[in-house]
Amino acid sequence: MMFQYRGKNREGQDVEGFIEGSNKNDAIATLSDQGVAILFLEAQSKKSALNIHLPFLNRIKTKDLVLFSRQLAVMTTATLPIVQALRILVDQTDNVQFKSVISEIADDVEGGERLSNALERHNKIFGNFFVAMVRSGETSGSIDKVLNYLADEQEKDYALVSKIKGAMIYPAFILAALGGVGLIMMVYVVPKITAILVETGGELPVATKILIGTSAFLVHWWWAIIIFLIAIFIGLKYLLRQPEPRKIWDHLKLKLPVFGSLFQRIYIVRFTRSMGTLVEGGVPITTSLNIVSDIVGNAFYKDIIDRTARDVQDGNPIASLFLRTKEIPPMIAHMLSVGEKTGRIGDVLNKMTDFYAREIEGLVANLVSLIEPLIMVIMGVGVGIMVAAVITPMYNMSSGF
């Protein structure tokens, strides 16, 4: 049998890989002889072994985390010990990489670590938000309630993102198909048609010259276009890793004609939902703001939330900076101000989450309805220009006879 293992060698370095053995005890004995302190050991099929060498196939998705949260919440509510619940999740999880992570967390908890500390060691997977919520549940002694609440909020967030992605699939497919057809026409069909027009030696209209030039450029310089696009992609990726360019870019996204308002509401829902969850879980306002600033996913809003956290720490109201920021709807600032005065910020944030989540659904539906005729117009204009560029010189030729 083939076993996947993870552990530490005699020098204390992390090691992992595969080892053959007739059974688990045989594999343990072999690894012990090699001086490996085993942290994780599990039988693997040949298919699973292949997946380990291709990490992108085992990427931990949002859906995996949602299922993990819900299943762990259900088992802890049923008064099942955390370690036992985690061991069960190891067996139920299909993703090999996530299975290994959960197994390590179970080992840490069994060794006396708090669940929040064990999760924090895998911060890139679970994030500050998840860890902070679990830690608040441990502190208050209501880990089962916190896990259930966390699972509910994660499911809502996942459902919202899935709905937006699902609504964009059709327009994206149509645009990709149009682009593909247009490229094939320009590379293979147009050169054959325009060759006849060029051979006539007559004066060609401007549209026809542009069509011929574009087609020739795509045919002869396709490699330069690919290099240029790759360079642009790498350059933008590097540039957007820098704080200031990223902030400017994220601010511009909010100003887009149709999509700007949709982006704005998506970020606001992330803020209100995450902030509401943390506050309801008993996490202090300043700590919640610092955590949420990394969750929002927009550098412009992150800067505003970070500055708000500093304002609150200095004793100022939470809504003071929001009231002066045009990119945040006035209702958010006023509702937060009311919630702060009444001591019900959690309730206010949850109500705003529901309100803006419904607005997003309406915007997505309207956007899809708007994109469909827009695609038809673009397609009609493109086909019209191409036909006019070919038909006009033919008409001029026939008129000359």
* Rounded CA separation 206/208 (Å): 5
Give DSSP secondary structure letters for 43-98: EE-HHHHHHHT-GGGG---HHHHHHHHHHHHHHHHTT--HHHHHHHHHHH---HHH
CB-based contact 390:194 (threshold 8 Å): yes
User: What pLDDT shows up at residue 29?
Assistant: 77
Q: How many secondary structure helices (H) and strands (E) does the chain include?
A: 18, 3
Structure tokens at 121: 């060691």
Mean pLDDT, residues 318-332: 86
Contact between residue 121 and residue 107 where contact means Cβ atoms under 8 Å apart: no
- Write down the pLDDT at residue 49: 42
At position 38, the amino acid (one-letter code) is I
**pLDDT of 6 higher than 70:** yes
Among positive and negative, which fits the CA dihedral 386, 390, 391, 395?
positive
| pLDDT at residue 234 in the model | 94
229 pLDDT tier (thresholds 50, 70, 90): very high
Helix axes 190-199, 345-400, angle to 10 degrees: 30
pLDDT at 200: 67
Confidence of residue 25 (pLDDT cuts 50, 70, 90): confident
Q: What is the pLDDT of residue 46?
A: 44
User: Which letter, b or e, does each residue of 133-154 get, where b requires 16 or more Cβ atoms within 10 Å of its Cβ?
Assistant: bbbbbeeeeebbbbbbbbbebb
Question: How many percent of the chain have pLDDT more than 70?
Answer: 91
201-228, pLDDT tens digit by residue? Answer: 667 777 778 888 888 888 888 899 899 9
pLDDT at 240: 87
Domains recognised in the chain with CATH numbers: 2-53 (no CATH), 62-154 (1.20.81.30), 166-401 (1.20.81.30)
Enter the tokens of residue 134.
Answer: 């679990």
Burial 209-239 (b: 16+ CB within 10 A, else e): eebbeebeeeeeeeeeeeeeeeeeeeeeeee
146 vs 353: CA distance, rounded Å: 19
| 203 φ/ψ angles, rounded to the nearest 5 degrees | -75, 125
Of 19-23, 226-230, 249-253, which range is least confident?
19-23
249/254 Cα distance (integer angstroms): 9
Task: Report how far residue 359's alpha carbon sits from residue 368's, in angstroms, rounded to the nearest whole number.
Answer: 14
pLDDT bin (cut points 50, 70, 90) of residue 232 is: very high
Q: How many Å from the N-terminal Cα to the C-terminal Cα in the chain?
A: 84
Instruction: Give the pLDDT confidence score for residue 2 in this predicted structure.
Output: 66
Please name the residue that has the structure tokens 């702060």. Answer: 340
pLDDT tens digits for range 65-108: 888 888 888 888 888 888 888 888 888 888 888 888 888 888 88
Q: What is the pLDDT of residue 98?
A: 86
pLDDT (average), residues 183-191: 82
CB 363 within 8 A of CB 262: yes
Using DSSP's 3-state secondary structure scheme, residue 40 falls into strand
- Which pLDDT score, from 0 to 100, does residue 51 have? 44
